[in-house]
């Protein structure tokens, strides 16, 4: 397979939550491709729909109140949104796996970590207990757990957060998936552990040719590990760059610019940190036109009226902003 064919193709995904306050458009028309061996980072503030996007891919949205209202998700050309529950279960953990933000709460407290690991291996591969255990030990060694023969019989509460995240990664990789969805995998960890986990993900990606969808709000993490970046705001992708470095050099969208300006910097010396005024609007009451316009320093009159069109830029990148649109109304 050529590296340009996307493994995972998401088009116009719409995920909504029906709440008492109205319909929340948590994800509203998101499209992206995930290519084999590449890392796509999905960046944005809390509540912008990153995690909902990730959960929609494996159809993990609690329903009700959640509902995938439109769009398509294809994995290797197979439709995931229309798949039966049984087919979907074969994809989950086997072709596409997921790791979560809080390793401490992602493991079942009443089971030894080894049993949770072998459970998944046996489910998808049908291997014997002894084989699964041997494999689990090898996996633990691979993700850098010291003395895996001993630690495999520990309970989750006997391990540190970083260790548990390693085990989550081992579990996610146990069936050699093609896609790994990492939902804020390092947010709950110390900075030094963060670096180790990211390093581990990177090396595993190289050795296994994994495609990673990395959900994060940390631009430092993006810079370190991702090949491509999509910036989300209020349920939409507002800027996409096929090369992480080019987004870092020249952010186009005022929101992306704002995000970068808010990063502490060694060069700028001791000044007050920049902030983007206001906060993310509630998903039930998005503003008209461009959803960023009430907070945007460059807002034009048209921004209030009409949502900006997607403007393609060089090598597949693009931005949704009137400032960059070719045809201004």
Contact residues for other proteins, defined by CB under 8 A: 58, 60, 64, 89-94, 97-98, 100, 102, 105-111, 119-120, 123-124, 154-155, 158, 168, 171-172
Nearer to other proteins, 46 or 108 (CB): 108
**Closer to other proteins at the Cβ: 105 or 128?**
105
- Closest CA relative to residue 221, chosen from 26, 55, 44, 98: 44
| Min separation Cβ 60 and other proteins, Å | 6
Smallest separation (angstroms) from other proteins to the CB of 142 = 18
Asked if residue 317 lies in contact with residue 241, where contact means CB atoms within 8 angstroms, the answer is: yes
- The Cβ-side half-sphere exposure at 158, using a 13 Å CA radius, reads 11
- Is the Cβ–Cβ distance between 159 and 151 less than 8 Å? yes
Q: Least distance to other proteins from the beta carbon of 279, Å?
A: 25
CA-nearest of 222, 257, 220 to 238 is 257
Kindly state the smallest distance separating residue 77's Cβ from other proteins, in Å.
20
Nearer to other proteins, 11 or 112 (CB): 112
Nearer to other proteins among residue 89 and residue 324 (C-beta): 89
In Å, how far are 22, 91, 134, 197 from 187, measured between CA atoms? 31, 26, 31, 11
Find the shortest distance in angstroms from Cβ 173 to other proteins: 11
Instruction: Put the strands of the sheet holding 39-43 in their side by side order.
Output: 96-99, 179-183, 211-216, 39-43, 228-233, 236-241, 318-319, 311-312
Classify 244 as helix, strand or coil: helix
Determine whether 220 is exposed, middle or buried from the number of CB atoms within 10 Å of its CB (0-12, 13-18, 19+): middle
Q: Which residue's CB is nearer to other proteins, number 94 or number 127?
A: 94
Q: Which is nearer to other proteins, 78 or 111 (CB)?
A: 111
């Amino acid at each position: 397979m050529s590296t340009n064919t996307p493994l995972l193709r998401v088009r116009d995904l719409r995920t909504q939550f029906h709440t008492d306050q109205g319909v929340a458009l948590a994800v509203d028309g998101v499209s992206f491709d995930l290519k084999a061996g590449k890392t796509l980072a999905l960046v944005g503030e809390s509540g912008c729909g990153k995690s909902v996007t990730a959960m929609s891919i494996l159809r993990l949205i609690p329903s009700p109140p959640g509902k995938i209202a439109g769009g398509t998700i294809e994995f290797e050309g197979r439709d995931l949104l229309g798949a039966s529950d049984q087919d979907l279960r074969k994809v989950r953990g086997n072709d596409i796996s997921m790791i979560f933000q809080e390793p401490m709460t992602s493991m079942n407290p009443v089971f030894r970590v080894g049993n949770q690991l072998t459970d998944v291996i046996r489910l998808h591969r049908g291997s014997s207990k002894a084989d699964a255990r041997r494999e689990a030990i090898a996996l633990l060694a691979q993700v850098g757990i010291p003395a895996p023969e001993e630690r495999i019989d520990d309970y989750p509460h006997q391990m540190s957060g970083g260790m548990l995240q390693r085990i989550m990664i081992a579990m996610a990789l146990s069936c050699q998936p093609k896609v790994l969805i990492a939902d804020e995998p390092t947010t709950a960890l110390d900075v030094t552990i963060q670096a180790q986990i990211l390093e581990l993900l990177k090396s595993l990606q190289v050795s296994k040719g994994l495609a990673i969808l990395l959900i994060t709000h940390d631009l430092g993490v993006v810079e370190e590990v991702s090949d491509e970046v999509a910036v989300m705001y209020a349920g939409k992708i507002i800027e996409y760059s096929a090369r992480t470095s080019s987004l870092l050099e020249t952010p186009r969208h005022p929101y992306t610019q704002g995000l970068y300006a808010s990063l502490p910097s060694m060069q700028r010396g001791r000044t007050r940190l920049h902030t983007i005024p206001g906060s993310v609007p509630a998903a039930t009451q998005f503003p008209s036109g461009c959803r960023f316009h009430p907070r945007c320093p460059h807002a034009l009159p048209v921004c209030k009226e009409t949502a900006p069109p997607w403007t393609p830029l060089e090598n597949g990148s693009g931005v949704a902003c009137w400032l960059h649109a070719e045809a201004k109304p």
